[in-house]
Amino acid sequence: MDNNPPPNPSPWLRLFRRNPNATTTRLRRRQATVSFFTRRLSQIIVALLAVGYFWLLILPSPRLGRGTYIDENALQPGQVNTYWNWGDVHAADVYLEQLELLRDSNATSHQRAQFLMNEFAKLGLSPATQKYSFQSSSNHGSINGANAYAILASPRGPRNEAMVISASWLSRIGEGDGTLNLRGVSTVLALARFLKNYSLWAKDIVFVIGDGYLDGMHAWLNAYHGVKQSNLEAEPLELTSGVIWTALNIDYPGHSFSHLGLFFEGLNGRLPNQDLMNSVQHIARYTGQVPVTVYDHLEWRDPSAQPSELTFLPSPLCHHPEIKEFAYRAKNILRHIGYQARGRASGVHGLYHQFRIDAVTVFAVPAIGPHGFHALGRIVESSLRTMNNLLERLHASFFFFILTTPDQFMKIGSYLPSAILISVAMMFRGLRCWVDAGWRPDHPHSKKGDHSPRIPVWSRRSRPVLHVFAMMLMTHLCGVVLFLIVRSSFFLYRQKLLTPLIVLAVSLVPFVVPKIYYPFHQGVAPAWLLLKALNLCFASTVISTITVLNFSLAALLAVALGLPLLLAQPSKSTPLSWFKYILYTLLASGWLFLFQEVRDAIWQWEILSVWFAPFFCLVYTPLVIQAGIVCILPHS
Amino acid sequence: MSSKPLAEIKLSAASCAIIISRVACAFLGLSGVLKHDQLLSTSLSSYSQLKEGVFLFRNGLDPYSGGNFRHSPLLLALFSVILPESRTSASLIWTSFDLTGAWALISIWKARQNVGATSKDALINASYLLNPYVFLPTLALSSSTLQNTLTLLSIKFAAEGRASPSLFLLSILLHVDLSTILLLLPILLLLITDPHSHLASPHPLTANLRRTIPLFGKYILYTSILAIASTIITGGVQWIPQTWGATLTLPDLKPNPGMWWYFFTEIFDHFRPFFLMVFSVHLLIYVVPICIKFQYDPLYATFLLLGVLGTFKAYPTLSDPGLFLSTLAVFPEVFSYLRHPIVTALLHLHAALLMPLFNHLWLNTGTGNANFFYASTLVFACANGAALIDAIWAGMRIAIGREVQNYVVVQE
C-alpha cells in the first residue's frame, strides 16, 4: 500500500521488478468489480428471473425449434417396397371378428390369452402365455391378467437381437379406462401372419399382446429382463429371444383413423431416441401417405381440426397464423410436460425405456376415415424394415428434445437455459442471504448537529450452520413420514377423511422444527436469514441437477419454487407473517386434496416405480415448508 | 458441577448413537447394490476382485498372472486368513475399519489440542463416520476404507511421537497404494516436531533435520521387509507391476471419480508414457513446497497433502477426498479464515448429485455418454481443488490475524 514513487530503475530491471503500485491497482480493480456486482445483484437476480420465466413462456415459439432429421444413417427409412396388401387386410378383419366374438362373450383374460396363443400357433410361430398378478395398496386388492406372445425366429440372424411389436388389450384412450384396442391386437396378429413369409429379418420379431393397459406389458418386460418386483407375481417366460433394441406399440381403438399420433414419453421422464420417432414419422408420411401428429392433437392447418380454442382472444388475433401456430405448439408442450414432469408413460411404449429399449406408440387417431388396416400395416412393415437395418443401438445423444410439432423439435440448448437461469437466480439470492447473515451493521450514534451521512460499521456475526442443517433435516424427515403415510393403504382407504388432518399436521411442522435449539442473540445471524440462504441454495441445486434427468419436472419446480422461495421473508406485522405462512402451507401440502392424482401417483410408484411421488414428498414439500418456517421465525 | 458431566454424557451418547447407526447400516445389506458402483471402488480397491484373487490364491493359482487382480499381496494374505464368509460379516469388518479410523482421528485431535476428552469429540466422530464420501465406499466394501484407516492410524502415531508404529503403518500403506509416498516427508517432519497448532505463529523449523535420517532408514527397512514378505507370499516379484505398476502405468481405464481415466482413454498411444510421467510427477511436486511453507506445522502439511491425493491421484474413490474433508474437522482454528466455504460446499453438493446421475445416464439408461460423467468428475475436481486452495489460504492467512477495517490482505 506504499504510494511513494520508486527510484527510477533501469528498463532492464523493470522487466523483472513489478510496479510496486501493481498490488494496489489490482486490489482497487477487484474491489470495483466486486462492488459493481454486489450493488447490482438485485437487478441481476431480477433480470435472470425475468429472462428465465420469459424463456419458459416462449418455448412454443416456432423460432426456437428446428426441423427433425435422421441422425443414424443405417436406418434408411422409407427406402423399401412394402408388400402388405388387401389380402392381409382381410386377414386382419377376420381376426377382428373373432376378437369381437371374444369380447361379446365376456371372455376372461386367460381365455383370451389362450385364444391368441392358439392363433399364433396356427401360424407356425412358437407361442406362449404368461399369467401375472400385482398387489397394490391403492387399488384395493390385486390386478390379475394373462399375456400372450410369440416369437418369429430370425431366418438370417444369430438370434441375439430382437424387436418387438406389441399391443395392449386396453387402448391408451382414457388411460386404460376400458376402451378396447381390438384393431391394434388384430393388426399384430395379421402382421405375425404376414411377416412370417419373408426371410429378410436379421433380428427376431417378438409379438406381444399385453393384458390390461400398462400392467400386462410391465409384467412381461420384467419377466423378460429377469427383474424381481416384490408386489408382482409373474410366471417366468417359456420362450425368450435376444436383446430387444427397438419396439413399436400399436394402438388402434377406433373404427378408422385420419392421422397417426406419436406418443413417446416413458416412465420417469425418459424419452426414446428421436431417430426412431423421426423414422416412423417419415415412413407414415411417405410410405403410408398418412398425416402424422404429435399425440392426438391435430394441427391447426388441418381441415379436420377442431375450430380454434383461442376464442377468448379478439378475432383478428385469434385467426393470426402465428398465434395459432404458437397455441398449437404450446398445447403439445403442455401435454409433454404433463406426462414427463409426473414421470408418467404416455402409453405402453413407456415401459420399455427403463430397459434401454427405444419404443414409441403409433396411435391411430379415431375418425370416420379414410385410413385403416391397409395404411397401418404398410407403415409398421416399413418401420420394421428400418429397425431391421440397425447395426448397433441407437445412440448419439438424441434423447434430449421437446417435440413441438411432428416435424419440428427443440434441441437441449434451446430449452435448458430457461430452468437453469431461474435456478442461478435462486443461487445468487441464496449466496446474498449467506453473506448478509455473516455481517451486522452497527449504526454509530451521531452527535448533535452532525448532519454527515452515517456510515454503518460492519461487524462479523457467527453463522450456526449446524443448527439450521438440523432444522432442514427435520423437515425432510417429516417428508419421509408424510410419504409413508400417504402410501399406506390405511390412508388410501380413508383418503377424503384423513387428508385435512394430514394437511393440518403438515401445517404444524413449522412450529415444531424451530424448537431445535438456536442461539438467538446479537452476535449471531438471524435464523431465518441463514435458513433462507441454505434453502435457496439447495433448491437451486436440485432444480439444476434435475434438468438433465427430467426437464419438465425441473421447469415445474422452477415455476413452483422459484418465486415463492425467493420471496419468503418474515414481516414486521404478525398477521402478514401468518398470512404468508398459511400460503406456504397450502403450497406445500395443498396437492393432497387432488385425491385422484395422489392415488394415481402412489399406484405408479408401487407398480411402475415412478419416483415422482416420493420425490414430491421428500424434496418439494420440505423445501416449501422451510420457506414457511422462514416466514414465522423472528425478524431479527 | 453437575451440568458438565451431563453434557459429556450427552456427547458420548451422541457418539454412541453415531456408532450404532453405522453398525446398523452394515446390516442393511447394501453392499450387493453398491459393490459395482464406479464412484465407490476402482479396480485397485474393488471387493469382488479381492475375493477373486483370494479364491485363486487359495486354490494355488497365481492371482497376479491374470492381469485382473491389483491388490497388494499383504491384503491377499490378510484376507485369505480372515476372508469374511458372508456379506454381513464383511460389512461389519469394513465398518470396524471405519470405527478405528474415527478413533484415530479423535486421537489426532487430542494430540493436536494436547487435551483429554473434549466436547468436540462427538463432532469429530460425526465428521468421519457420517461423511457420505467415507461411509458409502465402506458399504461398497472398497479397500480404500482400509487405506483411510491406515493413513489415519499412521498420522495418529506420528502425532503422538511414536515413530515405529507410524512408519510401519506408512510402509503398509505404501504397499496398498503407491501414491501415499507423498505423506512420507510431512510425517517424518511431524515425528521430529510436535503436532500442536503453530499456524498462527509461523517460525522456521527448529528441530534438527538430521533426525529424520534414521527415521527414513526405518521406513526403508520396513518397506523392504514388507516387500520381501510380499515376494515370499506370492512366490515371485510378479506382484510389483500389478500393484505398484498399475498406479504408474494406468492399465485399467474403468471410469472413476478421478482425473486420469478420461485423459488416458482419449490420448494417442505414443504420448502415453510422457503423460503418465507428467501425471505421476505432478503429484510429487506438491510435497516439498507444502512442507517448506508449513514447516512449523507438519500436521497441517500432512492434511494438505491428503487433499492433493484426493484430488489428483491415479485411482481415487470418493473416500480419498472424503478423508481430506473429514480431517478438516481437526483444524477448527482455520474455519473462520476460509475464504469461500459455501462455494466449496455447493460445488461438492453439485458434484455429489451429478456424478451418480451422469454415471447412470451414461451406463444404465444410455441417454448420455462418457463426456457427461467426465464433466461431472471435473466439477468434483473443481470442488476438491477449491477446498484444497481454501485450506492452504486459511492456513497461511491465520498468521496475519483479524482483518482491520480499511486494510486488505492480498497474496503477492
Q: Is the pLDDT of residue B3 over 50?
A: no
Identify whether the C-beta of residue A586 lies closer than 8 Å to the C-beta of residue A510. Answer: no
CA distance B407 to chain A (A): 9
B376 contacts in chain A (CB < 8 Å): none
SS3 A207: strand
A545 contacts in chain B (CB < 8 Å): 350, 353-354, 357
Mean pLDDT throughout A23-44? 89
Please name the amino acid found at residue A307: P
B356 contacts in chain A (CB < 8 Å): none
CA distance A310 to chain B (A): 37
Report the residue from B346, B353, B405 with minimal CB separation from A537.
Answer: B346
Q: How far apart are CA A136 and CA A354, in angstroms?
A: 21
The reported pLDDT for the residue numbered B292 is 94
Max mean pLDDT among A296-300, A631-635, B325-329 falls in: B325-329
The reported pLDDT for the residue numbered A89 is 95
Chain A CB within 8 Å of residue B406 CB: no
The reported pLDDT for the residue numbered B408 is 77
Which helix H or strand E contains A444, and what residues bound it?
none
Q: What is the overall mean pLDDT for chain B?
A: 90
Identify whether the C-beta of residue A322 lies closer than 8 Å to the C-beta of residue A211. Answer: no
In SS3 terms, A275-295 reads as HHHHHHHHHHHHCCCCCEEEC
Mean pLDDT throughout A569-575? 84
CA distance B184 to chain A (A): 35
DSSP H helical ranges for A58-181:
86-104, 109-122
Q: pLDDT tier at B2 (50, 70, 90 boundaries)?
A: very low
Q: How far apart are CA A170 and CA A178, in angstroms?
A: 6
Domain locations in chain A as residue ranges:
12-17+24-60+415-442+459-632, 66-410
**Which 8-state DSSP code applies to residue A617?**
I
The reported pLDDT for the residue numbered A12 is 59
Asked if ipTM goes beyond 0.95, one says no
Identify whether the C-beta of residue A434 lies closer than 8 Å to the C-beta of residue A535. Answer: no
Chain A CB within 8 Å of residue B357 CB: yes
Please name the amino acid found at residue A590: G
B357 contacts in chain A (CB < 8 Å): 545, 548-549
pLDDT above 70: percentage of residues in chain B: 97
**Residue ranges of B 358-387 with Cβ closer than 8 A to chain A:** 358, 361, 364-369, 372
Given phi > 0 = left and psi -120 to 50 = alpha, else beta, which region is B60? left
Mean pLDDT throughout A30-36? 90
Q: pLDDT tier at A449 (50, 70, 90 boundaries)?
A: low
Model pLDDT for residues B120-141, shown as the tens digit of each residue: 888 899 999 999 999 899 999 9
Q: Is the pLDDT of residue B331 over 60?
A: yes
Q: Is the pLDDT of residue A194 over 90?
A: yes
Mean pLDDT throughout B212-229? 94
Report the residue from B343, B357, B410 with minimal CB separation from A549.
Answer: B357
Find, among A618, A566, A564, the residue nearest to A431 by Cα. Answer: A566
Q: Is the pLDDT of residue A131 over 60?
A: yes
Burial level of B278, CB count in 10 A (0-12/13-18/19+)?
exposed
Q: How far apart are CA B77 and CA B229, in angstroms?
A: 10
The CATH number of domain A66-410, selected from 1.10.357.10, 3.40.50.720, 3.40.50.1820, 3.40.630.10: 3.40.630.10
Identify whether the C-beta of residue A266 lies closer than 8 Å to the C-beta of residue A249. Answer: no
DSSP track, B94-156: HHHHHHHHHHHHHHHHHHHHT-SS-TTHHHHHHHHHT-HHHHHHHHTT-THHHHHHHHHHHHH
What separation in angstroms does the CA of A430 have from each of A36, A93, A476, B214? 19, 64, 19, 54
Q: How far apart are CA A227 and CA A243, in angstroms?
A: 15
Model pLDDT for residues A487-507, shown as the tens digit of each residue: 888 888 888 888 899 998 888
The reported pLDDT for the residue numbered B274 is 95
Better-scored residue on pLDDT, A383 or A22: A383
Q: What is the overall mean pLDDT for chain A?
A: 88
Return the residue of B nearest to A273 by Cα. B367
Q: Is the pLDDT of residue A451 over 80?
A: no
Better-scored residue on pLDDT, B117 or B208: B208
| CB pairs A-B closer than 8 Å | 50
Please indicate whether, in this complex, the C-beta atoms of B366 and A545 are within 8 angstroms of each other.
no
DSSP track, B312-359: H-SS--THHHHHHHHHGGG-GGGGGG-S-HHHHHHHHHHHHHHHHHHH
Chain A CB within 8 Å of residue B48 CB: no
Mean pLDDT throughout B378-395? 95
CA distance B353 to chain A (A): 7
Q: Is the pLDDT of residue A136 over 80?
A: no
Max mean pLDDT among A446-450, B66-70, B357-361 falls in: B357-361
Better-scored residue on pLDDT, B283 or B365: B283
Q: Is the pLDDT of residue A62 over 80?
A: yes
Model pLDDT for residues A220-265, shown as the tens digit of each residue: 999 999 988 888 888 899 888 889 999 999 999 988 999 999 999 9
Q: What are phi and psi of A158, to 5 degrees?
A: -80, 5
Please indicate whether, in this complex, the C-beta atoms of A27 and B410 are within 8 angstroms of each other.
yes
Better-scored residue on pLDDT, A27 or A16: A27
Find, among B203, B226, B172, B183, the residue nearest to B323 by Cα. Answer: B183
Q: Is the pLDDT of residue B367 over 60?
A: yes
Please indicate whether, in this complex, the C-beta atoms of B350 and A544 are within 8 angstroms of each other.
yes
Q: If you search the block for the grid coordinates 480397491, which residue do you land on?
A: B45
The reported pLDDT for the residue numbered A293 is 92
Better-scored residue on pLDDT, B352 or A574: B352
Please indicate whether, in this complex, the C-beta atoms of B366 and A549 are within 8 angstroms of each other.
no
Please indicate whether, in this complex, the C-beta atoms of B366 and A537 are within 8 angstroms of each other.
no
Find, among A143, A115, A118, A113, the residue nearest to A130 by Cα. Answer: A113
| Among A399, A432, A457, A461, the residue to mutate for chain B (most B Cβ within 10 A) | A399
**Which 8-state DSSP code applies to residue A449?**
T
Mean pLDDT throughout A516-529? 81
Please indicate whether, in this complex, the C-beta atoms of B410 and A427 are within 8 angstroms of each other.
no
Q: Is the pLDDT of residue A1 over 60?
A: no
Number of Cα atoms under 13 Å in the Cβ half of residue A213? 18
Number of Cα atoms under 13 Å in the Cβ half of residue B12? 7
Q: How far apart are CA A180 and CA A172, in angstroms?
A: 9
Q: How far apart are CA A551 and CA B367, in angstroms?
A: 14
Chain B CB within 8 Å of residue A537 CB: yes
Return the residue of A nearest to B126 by Cα. A466
Q: Is the pLDDT of residue A183 over 80?
A: yes
CA distance B408 to chain A (A): 8
Model pLDDT for residues A576-614, shown as the tens digit of each residue: 888 888 899 999 988 999 988 998 899 899 889 999 999
Report the residue from B357, B365, B372 with minimal CB separation from A356.
Answer: B365
Q: pLDDT tier at A395 (50, 70, 90 boundaries)?
A: confident
B364 contacts in chain A (CB < 8 Å): 356
Mean pLDDT throughout B77-96? 85
Q: How far apart are CA A478 and CA A481, in angstroms?
A: 5
Identify whether the C-beta of residue B70 lies closer than 8 Å to the C-beta of residue B175. Answer: no
Domain locations in chain B as residue ranges:
3-400
